Each structure stands twice: as C-alpha cells, then as structure tokens.
A and B are shown apart, each in its own frame.
Chain A
Amino acid sequence: MVIEHDILTFFEWLLPGAGGMGALLTFFLAVALLSVFLTLLAYLFTSVRHGPFEAFYVVAKSIATGVSDVANTSPRRVLALARLAVTEAVRRKVLIAFVVFLLILLFAGWFLDVRSDHPGRLYISFVLTATNYLVLLLALFLAAFSLPNDIKNRTIYTVVTKPVRGTEIILGRVLGFATVGTALLAMMCLVSYLFVVRGLDHGHAAIAETVEEMTDRNSQPIGVRGETTLNSHHRHTFEVDADGYGRTDAQMGHWHEVLAVAGPDGATQYEVGPPQGQLLARVPIYSRGPQPLRFRDRSGQPAEKGISVGDFWTYRDYIEGGSQARAVWTFQDITAEQFPAGLPVEMTLGIFRTHKGDIEQIVRGELEVVNPETEVRSEPISFRPTEFEIFHLDVPRDIRVVDPATQVSRDGDLFEDLVAEDGSTEIWVRCADPGQYYGMSRADLYLLAAERPFFLNFVKGYVSIWLQMVVVICFGVMFSAFLSGAVAMMATLATIVMGFFSGFIVGVFRGVLDPNAPVTEKVLGGGPIESFYRLITQKNVSLELDPSIGAVVIQTIDKGLVILMRTVVMIIPDFGRLGTANYVAYGFNIDGDLLAQHGAVALAYAVTVSLASYFFFKSREIAA
C-alpha cells in the first residue's frame, strides 16, 4: 500500500493556493461552463420546436421557474416523497440484498485463500469490495427504475397534479434511496466487521517440548525460545525474556504476545495471547519539502536519482549496498511533544539481489538521523528489514550522536541534536550488504504518528462506499428523469464503469493523442475502433498499423472518440479515487481531510446532478 498523492488539508484543497486554483473554483468553473453549454443546447432544441424567439422566452422562463421551485421546496413534501420511496423499497423487498450479502459472507470461506500471507488484508478488502459492488448495484437498480415505473404505472399523475415541485420529486427520491442504502450499509458494516474480526481471531498454545533456554555470550540465561502449535494454517516461533514477557515472530501479518506464567504444578508455562498487528489504522507522517526524497550515489555525491535495476515500471529508485549510496528522507515540523519517546520509523523496502546465496538471508541496512542545519548525525542504527512487510524501528530519544567537525561521538538527545530549529530532520538509509540493492520511493518510509482504532477506520471505509452510493443514486435518478428504466440503468452503469476506469481512459487518450507521453502513463493500441481492429486481426499493440486509407480513417474517428471519452471522464466522478478500501485493508488511517474532500466532491456531484435531474424532469411531458 502506497499513498501516491499528498493529502492536502481540506482548506488547502478547497481554496486557491500554491497547488492551483483549488477545488471550489474548479467546481464553479466546471458548473458555469456546463450550464452555458446545456442552456445553449436546450435553446437549440427548443428553437427547432418553437422558433428562435419563442425559444428564448421558453428557456428563460424555465430557468426562472427553476429558481422559484428551488426556493419554494418544502421539506415536508420532500420527506413525504422520501418516505414513499423508502416504503416502496421495503415493500418491494429490497432487504433481499442484505440476505444476499449474508449468503456471500457465509460461503466466503470457500473462496478466500486460507494460506494467504495477509489474511487480514484479504478479508478486509474482500468484505469492502463485496459491499461496494453490491450496494452500488442496489443503488443503481433502485434509482434507475423507480421514476420510470412511476411514470409507466401513471402513479406519478396523482403526485404531479398536487402542488409538488420537480425539485421535491427529485430530492425526495434521492433522499429516500439514500436512506434505504444507509440502513443497508450500516447493517452490512456491522456484520462484515464481525466477520473480519471473528474470521481472523485464532489462538495458539506454546509447545512445551520446543521451549529451550537462550543464553548470552557469557552463558547467562536471557530467556527462552520456542514454537507454538499449528493453528489457522501457520505456527509461530516465540522468544520470552528473563522477565517473562515476550512475543512471537510475525506470520501472516500478525503476531501474538507471549507471557510466562506459573502453572498449577509450579512449572513455568507460556501463554500465547490473541493475534495483534493485523487490524490497524496507522497514521503516517510522510517526508515533505522541496526534495522529500533525495539520493547520494556510491561515492557519496548528491545524485538526481537512484539506480534503475531495469524494472519496466520504475516506481522505486535503488541504492547500491556496501557503498556510500544513500536515500535521504526529509521530514518537517517534528516536535518532541508529538513523539515523546523517540521516532517510530516504519518502512517497506524493495530489495534487489545481484547474487543469490540464501534467498531467505536478510539484506542488512543502516539508518542515521541527521540534523540538516548542524549536520550532527546519529551513530548508524543497523536493522534487518523484513521483506514485503512493513518493518518497524524505534529511534530512541537518548541516542549517541556524532559531531561533524570533530567526528567524536557523544551522548545526545534526539530532538536537541538531530532536529533543526525549524523542526526539520533527515533520515539517511544505507544498504549494508555489498552487491545487494535497496529500492525506495518516498512513501516507503514514514514516521508513525499514531495508531487509531481499527473499527473507526473500518467505518470510514464504509463512509467512502456510502459517498459513492449517493453519487450513483443521483446519477440514476437523473437518467431516469428522462429515460426509460432499462436505458437509465444502462446509462448509470456506463457512468459507474467509466468512473472506475477513468485512469485507463485517460491513458488511452494520451496513447492516441500524445505520442510523447511516458510509456507508463499511456495505453498502447489506439482508440476503441483501432483496438477492435487489432483484436480481430490479432495485431500486436506495439506494431504501427500499415499506412492505408482504412488506417487513417480508423485513427481519425478514434481521435474524435477519445476526445469525447476524455471529456465525459472529466465530467463524471472518478469512483476509483473515492474508494478507500486499500487504506483499511493495508492498515492505514483514512485521513479526515481526505474523507472531507471526498465528501465535498460527492456533495458537489449530488447537488449539480440533482439540479440537472430537475430540469430534465421538468422539460418532459409526463403523460406522453
């Protein structure tokens, strides 16, 4: 799990600033452009029917009516219509969706890989994904069919002949379906939380025969080491120190506490506690500044980048082991108040081996904390990172430091010596084994600011699903305001699919229209028609089409199509970005600012799409 993008604070994101013109301004600009475009379109259509002068009057009047309808919207009527939508959904047995969800969970055990390296991740992302799709599907069906059914059954006649505004009909529906969806989601959230917690819970017992004494160099006993029983397809080894306190190694993404206790017959027994470390909500602090991550090459000179080890996707830069090469992360605003006990560092390093030897052999590394102002550095702290796992390392408050001028080491204090006046500090990482490489990216190393309750984070994950659901409901209602049920459903589905694949569509757009784009940021093989042509002629995507009139025609049409697709993708919501399942699954706290941003985006969509629904609904002849 990598957080690719910086999370801005809510107001940084919302208001104009260094990062651009801000979300609010972008929103208003988009809405203004779209409104002008749609008004022109409406005017054109109306002039075909009524002639250009009458059309001007008609369009102006419907906008004026719209303003008055919005102003006169009555909460009681909206609530009445929302209640009706809820009653309808309940009496049409929408709760069956929940039963389906329970069934999925019931049989999930058959499909989930019990020997997974990360059962926690697997379980969490499974329940979140299952809920996400199920709820979006439900929202889609509820929203897309309701209004068309009302029109088909003509029940709408008795509603619109009451003093009901179009705004109320639209809002009532959105609110009603959102209520139904919220209730369902809440139930699903609770059930799936229990499923995850209960599904991951297991215990081990220490095997008495495997317990053996550990001694230090002077043959003094320092504790015991042993193995646990095999449960849930894995076993741990554990170490308990002389004080009777210890823990197991990490297996399948968790560990257990082990305590030495006196047994009934006076002999020492070892009690293995419940699993820990798999249901987390870590709050990371990432490196910041003009150069959040920089490199030193093998001779210790500043380098633009690390070494590429030839991966196609060069996400990580590599540094050579056993040399002066280092990766340097810069952190800002570090205070003793925030980290009273020292700096908890967590990292996930990519390891690239140039010689094999024992593949299980851990590639050792060293870490130094450096004051960027005085260049006082800590003595290197060596570590043995676990591969493919988050590795935790505490840099203690009391630490040996080295003065740059004298090169003499002395006792120092982390915050006094190694953190600059402005609160910035650097962490230098070096690979100690010659011939091996460490790969790093900015997000690979962070300071663990706090751990939040997992349940809250789980709920936040559901809030993200809820936001997506509300947006889908709004789109469903909008399409159903002027299309028949089945068509409205297809249109909403298309919106969801394009929303989820917006990154891919942007890639296709760049592949067709931006030949200079880096290969990682575009999709090869041309636009829709060219791709289809390649598909049926089995032509490799990296080969150019033979120059012919056909190819030119295909590519020209494709250009138009991808521009259209790109435009649509710019308008519809990026559902992939709204999803936060990965945060929960990988054990990172969903930032409140991020959730607030998603909430604002969803609200913006809800408001504009509902407004569009109103005009679509108003301009349609209900009895036609």
Chain B
Amino acid sequence: MAAPTVEQAAQPAEKTAAQADVVIETRNLSKTYRDFWGRQKVRALKALDLEVRRGEIFGLLGPNGSGKTTTIKLLLGLLFPSSGQAYVFGEEAASVKKNEKIGYLPEESYLYKFLNAEETLDFYGRLFDMPAKVRKERAESLINMVGLQWARRRQLREYSKGMTRRIGLAQALINDPNLLLLDEPTSGLDPIGTREMKDLILRLRDEGKTILVCSHLLPDVQDVCDRIAILHQGELKELGRVSDLLRVEDVTQIRARGLSDEVKEEIRNLIQQHGGVVEGIENPTATLEQLFLEIVKDSEARPGRRAPAPAEK
C-alpha cells in the first residue's frame, strides 16, 4: 500500500522550515473557461499568487463571480489550471494523497440525499479507509458536535438548509483534517448557526488547523479571519492581515461609560482646541446580530413570553 508513488517523487526534495509552514501555495494560477470548441469564454482567475500558512484563518473575499470558488476548486483538483500551479501540503493539487489531510465544505452541501446522517458519515469515513470502530466513534462525536442527534436517522432529503449545512460540516471534519476549505460556510444558517459556525472555526484554528474561508458575507469574515485576500474579476486586489487592513490610522475612537452631556461638550471643545476634527460623539447602537442573539437567549431562559428588547431593560 505504502509504495512510493509518483506524486511523492514529484515533490521538491529539499524543504526549508518556512516552506514547511506553507500549507497552500499558488503560483501564477490562472483559469480560463473554454467552450466545447476551445474558444475562450471567461477568464475566471488571472495569475493568482497566494500563500496560506499553517494555523491561520485565511479569508478569500470578493463579489459573486470574482473567482473565489474557482480558486478552491483548483486547489482541490476539481478543475485543472490553464496555467500556473497550485500546491497543497507541497503536493500538486491534482494528487489524491493530499486529500487525506483535507476537509472540504462545498458551497452547498452536495451530499447523497438518500442517506441519513449516520450513513453519510459512515460512508465518508469508509472513503478514508477508517476501520469500523473509529468510524462509529467519529460519526457519533461529530453528530453531537453539529447538534443533529435528534435527526440522525432521517434521510438528508428531509433536512432543512441549515441542517444540511451542519451535516456538510460534519462530513468535512470526519478525517480530523489539518486543512479546512470552507466555501460560504455561513450561507443558509440562521444567526445562531452563524455564530456557532464562527465559534467553531475559531476553535478549530486554536486546535492548530489551517482554515481557508471563502465568502462574500463581510461581517462573518471580519469576525474570524486572520488574513484576507480580496478578489475581483479574477484578480487579486488586496492581501493582508485584517487588523492592518481595517485600521484607520488618522482616526481615534474613544469609548467611555457614564459621561454627562456637559462632559461630552467639554471633550468636544478640548479636541477642537488641539486642532482635531470631531466626526461624531454619539451613543453606539448594538448590531442587529447582538440584539437577535440576546432575544433568543432570553427566550430560551424564560419561554412563553415576549422578551423585552435589551434597551428596555
């Protein structure tokens, strides 16, 4: 079984420590879609150079049709590059061996609708050549983790979108992967599901996994990603740490509690004295997400009555 394969032979022989930390690497990666006659239709990706390092959450952002999903498919070997190379764990994207350490959650969970949750996880476990006992344990803990204990015996055709997403995530984690590729992980999830998904992503990162998230839901990405790349029309427009990219250098934000109107006026004057420009002093609003989460939390604590909005309390 473990005979040296061609893919292994094709690996670069020497590896520096820095290279070993690079999980995903693309060099000049391009993809042009062609029609049946070989005529060019769309240039979906233009010369992408990207490095994703071990243990980070990397966000791939961009509007619809910007090449995010194409990039993921190229990394998985679902598409063949028109030119350039993609390496995952130092192996070519087309190699099968890299899949041992990868988990992939597709855009929509493309799962067999005629299987139930247990059968689904058992099937994917078998694809990793796991022995029966390991499969069973793994399936059990994943079903508990994504909260589908109550629907484990139901065929996936009866699942709601959110449930499908959860079982999709469970199948991506069946092999305890080192690298997770998540395509729109929060799409179709309610705010609670979204929060849980984001918490889970962070937890997985803390366990030392590398995660590539691709999304157009910016708040989601902002909350979790360490670094992001922004794609537009197949070209890389921006790349860097989220904190660096979003820092506004010449604006200072002050947050305080318990200030009277007089004090606020005093601060305003003080700023103006020093030549600063006051852009606004106001009470912050909570995000709708926060509001929603609090209502649900309250409702779960005291079921049966309309929960007062947090502001009224």
Contacts and interface: CB of A to CB of B under 8 A. Distances in A.
A623 B114 contact: no
Contacts of B124: 158, 162
Interface in B75-134: 76-80, 96-97, 99-100, 102, 104, 106, 108-112, 114-115, 119, 123-124, 126-129
Interface string A590-622: 000000000000000000000000000000011
Q: Which of A81, A157, A162 has the most CB of B within 10 A?
A: A162
B230 to A, nearest CB: 23
B256 interface: no
Interface string A136-156: 000000000000000001111
Contact of B78 (A64, A76, A165, A622): A622
A157 B78 contact: yes
Given A68-B5, A154-B106, A622-B78, A163 B112 contact: no
A609 B73 CA distance: 29
Given A163-B97, A163-B128, A623-B73, A153 B80 contact: no
A84 B6 CA distance: 29
A157 B110 contact: yes
Nearest to B124: A162
A71 B3 contact: yes
A207 to B, nearest CB: 62
A210 to B, nearest CB: 66
Contacts of A165: 96
A77 B126 contact: yes
Interface in A365-411: none
B33 interface: yes
Given A80-B123, A621-B79, A621-B80, A157 B104 contact: yes
Interface of B: 1, 3, 5-7, 10, 33, 38, 73, 76-80, 96-97, 99-100, 102, 104, 106, 108-112, 114-115, 119, 123-124, 126-129, 168, 171, 175
A157 B183 CA distance: 12
A87 B110 contact: no
Given A77-B129, A80-B127, A158 B78 contact: no
Nearest to B99: A163
26 contacts: A61-B10, A68-B3, A76-B126, A77-B126, A79-B126, A83-B123, A84-B123, A87-B114, A87-B119, A157-B76, A157-B78, A157-B104, A158-B106, A158-B168, A160-B78, A161-B78, A161-B99, A162-B99, A162-B127, A163-B100, A163-B129, A165-B96, A621-B79, A621-B80, A623-B79, A624-B33
B31 to A, nearest CB: 10
> Which one of A68, A74, A77, A154 has the highest number of Cβ atoms from chain B below 10 Å of its Cβ?
A68
Given A72-B3, A91-B114, 9 more contacts: A72-B5, A77-B127, A83-B123, A84-B123, A161-B76, A161-B104, A162-B99, A622-B79, A624-B33
Interface in A48-83: 48, 61, 64-65, 68-69, 71-72, 74, 76-77, 79-81, 83
A157 B103 CA distance: 12
A456 interface: no
A87 B128 CA distance: 19
A624 B79 contact: yes
A158 B111 contact: yes
B112 to A, nearest CB: 6
A74 B129 CA distance: 8
Nearest to A72: B1
B104 A158 contact: yes
A562 to B, nearest CB: 29
B303 to A, nearest CB: 38
A91 B157 CA distance: 12
Given A87-B115, A624-B33, A155 B110 contact: yes
A92 interface: yes
B74 to A, nearest CB: 9
A12 to B, nearest CB: 38
Nearest to A166: B96
Contacts of A155: 110-112
B159 to A, nearest CB: 14
A568 B137 CA distance: 52
A71 B96 CA distance: 13
Nearest to A50: B83
Per CB-CB distance, the 9 closest pairs between chain A and chain B, nearest first, are A80-B126, A623-B78, A162-B127, A154-B110, A91-B114, A163-B99, A68-B5, A64-B6, A161-B104
Contacts, number: 95
A156 to B, nearest CB: 8
A200 interface: no
B112 A88 contact: yes
A91 to B, nearest CB: 4
A159 interface: yes
Contacts of B168: 158
A134 interface: no
A164 interface: yes
Given A76-B126, A164-B96, A61 B79 contact: no
A84 B115 CA distance: 9
Nearest to A153: B110
B129 A76 contact: yes
Interface string A77-117: 10111011001100110000000000000000000000000
Contacts of A624: 33, 79
B85 to A, nearest CB: 13
Contacts of A163: 96-97, 99-100, 127-129
Nearest to A161: B104
Nearest to A622: B78
With most chain B CB atoms within 10 A of its CB, the pick from A68, A77, A158 is: A158
A621 B70 CA distance: 12
Contacts of B6: 61, 64-65, 68
A197 to B, nearest CB: 38
Contacts of A69: 96
A163 B73 CA distance: 16
Contact of A621 (B78, B123, B127): B78
Nearest to B34: A624
A622 B129 CA distance: 23
A88 B110 contact: no
A83 B33 CA distance: 35
B263 to A, nearest CB: 59
B137 to A, nearest CB: 17
A72 B127 CA distance: 13
B124 to A, nearest CB: 6
Nearest to B155: A91
Contacts of B5: 68, 72
A337 B312 CA distance: 108
A92 B127 contact: no
Nearest to A63: B6
Nearest to B110: A154
Nearest to B10: A61
Contacts of A81: 127
Contacts of B38: 48
A154 B109 CA distance: 9
A68 B1 CA distance: 10
Contacts of B79: 621-624
A84 B106 contact: no
A145 B137 CA distance: 34
A550 B212 CA distance: 66
Interface in A346-381: none
A64 B3 CA distance: 13
Nearest to B175: A162
Nearest to A67: B6
Contact of A164 (B3, B108, B109, B127): B127
Nearest to B174: A162
